[in-house]
Amino acid sequence: MELTSTCDEPVRLSHDEVTFLNDLPGAAFDIGYFDSCSLALGHPGAHATSLQAVPGSSWWLVWGFGTRILLPHTKECDAEDPFWPAEMCFLYAGHVGDHVFLRPPDWLPPV
Ligand SMILES: [Zn+2]
Ligand SMILES: [Zn+2]
């Protein structure tokens, strides 16, 4: 599965950020130093990417416009994919820009 068109602005994490995220209690992933923006292509405002999951929340890095912060989001966006029933938006509740959905890599919109 692949995300629908995303911003993909690259970001390099600091050693402190990687250590913090990997040391969180219940951390689901062993994260690395490179990631990219998961918001929809052309989104307004700061960039954001999902980096770590712990029970009950996901941790996002938000950067740009002079901001750089790690934020836990406890609520996911509940928008449903109009073309792929039962698939929900990949982003957190209240995100900026369009919704982003996971779809098979060879998926094409119906004509
Ligand atoms: Zn972005
Ligand atoms: Zn959404």
Looking at residue 3, its pLDDT comes to 81
CB 60 within 8 A of CB 26: no
Residues 6+ positions from 85 with CB-CB distance below 8 Å: none
CA of 5 to the centre of ligand 1 (A): 11
| Angstrom distance (rounded) from CA 38 to CA 64 | 14
What are 6's strand-pairing partners? 40
Q: Which residue has the higher pLDDT, 83 or 41?
A: 41
Residue 108 is predicted with a pLDDT of 79
Q: Is the pLDDT of residue 91 over 90?
A: yes
Q: Is the pLDDT of residue 84 over 90?
A: no
pLDDT(12) > 80 = yes
Residues facing residue 61 across a β-bridge: 49, 70
Please tell me the distance between residue 96's alpha carbon and the centre of ligand 2 in angstroms.
8
Residue 72 has pLDDT above 90, yes or no: yes
Q: How far apart are the CA of 87 and the centre of ligand 1, in A?
A: 22
- CA–centroid distance, 51 to ligand 2, in Å, is 17
**Secondary structure string (H, E, C) spanning 9-50:** CEEECCHHHHHHHHCCCCCCCCCCCEEECCCECCCCCCEEEE
What pLDDT band is residue 53 in, cutting at 50, 70 and 90?
very high
Q: Which ligand is nearest to the CA of 9?
A: 1
Coil, helix or strand for 68? strand
For residue 100 the two structure tokens come to 């982003």
